[in-house]
Amino acid sequence: AKQQGRNHWQFYNKQRKSMSASDIILRSQLQQAIDNEALQLYYQPIIDFSTGKIVSVEALMRWTLNDGTAISPVEFIPLAEATGQIIPAGAWALKQACTDLHKLQQAGVQRVAVNLSALQFHRANFFEQIEKVLNDTQTPPDMLELELTESILMENTDNAINVLERLRERGVRVAIDDFGTGFSGLSYLKTLPVTKLKIDRAFIKELDHSLSDQVITQGIINMASQVGLEVIAEGVETKEQIAILKQFGCGYGQGYYFARPMPLTDLLIFLQNSDLI
């Protein structure tokens, strides 16, 4: 469904076709949600396999209509990317995550990861925006991690590397999201100033019975460790997957097995009651 959503909007972008009536309604509802700061951030823990502790959390956007209907990010993020609304929505998410970080830090969380869209990353003043949020929210730069997909890093590479280098100098971490889905080859990895990669759930899903997924996952982990990158496995749902990932030398995991994404208040309770931390 995600892929279809993406393709649909990429198609819309390229063809400059008019939006459907329901898309137009959704867009104006999304604008209201942005204007009224009615979007929400949920947080999903990321676990260090070597200690079993929660080290960081990923911020994930949520949108619920006034009538209580939840719209999936798989639907509204591509819409927001097509309309440009991801710029204000993403700016809000970044600032909210950095604000929430103070409470998370007191609960023992070391870092928050925020998703970025291509449109945000390629803006002329992107780095200055990060700088401003860090200053406004008094966030130590190494407590912020930005998640960028492979495709974002592959497009417009000179500019991307320049921005990544400035982020690295500033101490902000960058992770490559959905790794393995971008067909980009592995050699470029060692030239990119990034610290982490996240293996896409597509490879983790069938890990305990798919030999090819095991080979790919093991390959990604080996290659990452050779170039000094940390690895997070996404979408971990079973003990069996964890056993295999640990055996392969994967450092970190995230998925429903540990916890689903949840609102800040629930996460703070979860962290308190959790033996993990």
253 counts as binding ligand C2E under rule CB under 6 A: no
Q: Please identify, using beta-carbon distances, which residue of 12 and 63 lies nearer to ligand C2E.
A: 63
Residue nearest to ligand C2E (CB): 255
Q: Is 199 left (phi over 0), alpha (psi -120 to 50) or beta?
A: beta
The stretch near ligand C2E (CB under 6 A) out of 101-109, 138-146, 180-188, 252-260 is 252-260
HEC assignment per residue over 166-186 = HHHHHCCEEEEEEECCCCCCC
Tell which one of 117, 139, 217, 241 touches ligand C2E (CB under 6 A): 117
26, 57, 77, 167: which one contacts ligand C2E (CB under 6 A)?
77
Tell me how far, at minimum, the Cβ of 29 lies from Ca ion, in Å. 24
Which of Ca ion, ligand C2E, none does residue 104 bind to, with CB < 5 to 8 Å depending on kind? Answer: none
Q: Hey, which residues between 35 and 64 contact ligand C2E (CB under 6 A)?
A: 44, 60-61
What's the alpha-carbon Rg for the chain, to the nearest Å?
18
13 binds ligand C2E (CB under 6 A): no
Q: Does residue 177 touch Ca ion according to CB under 5 A?
A: yes
For 145, the enclosing helix (H) or strand (E) is strand 144-149
Whole-number Cα distances in Å, 181 to 6, 185, 216: 14, 10, 11
User: How many other CB atoms sit within 10 Å of the CB of residue 208?
Assistant: 14
Using a 10 angstrom Cβ sphere, with 0-12 exposed, 13-18 middle and 19 or more buried, the burial of residue 110 is middle
- Options 93, 146, 148, 194; binder of ligand C2E; rule CB under 6 A: 93
Q: Is 115 in the site for Ca ion (CB under 5 A)?
A: yes
Residues 139-168 that bind Ca ion (CB under 5 A): 147
Distance CA 213, CA 209 (A): 8
CA distance 191 to 76: 33
| Matching residue, tokens 């401003």 | 132
Would you say 179 and 200 are in contact if contact means Cβ atoms under 8 Å apart?
A: yes
Q: Binding segment for ligand C2E among 110-118, 223-231, 240-248, 262-270 (CB under 6 A)?
A: 110-118
**Interacting residue with Ca ion among 178, 194, 207, 245 (CB under 5 A):** 178
Q: Which part of the chain contacts ligand C2E (CB under 6 A), choosing from 18-26, 109-117, 138-146, 220-228?
A: 109-117
Q: CA-CA distance, 96 to 110, in Å (whole number)?
A: 16
User: Contact region for ligand C2E (CB under 6 A) — 130-138, 215-223, 233-241, 242-250?
Assistant: 233-241
Tell whether residue 177 is a contact of ligand C2E (CB under 6 A): yes
| CA–CA–CA angle 72, 84, 130 (5° rounding) | 90
> Which residue ranges make up the site for ligand C2E (CB under 6 A)?
44, 60-61, 72-74, 77, 90, 93, 115-117, 177-178, 234-237, 254-256, 261
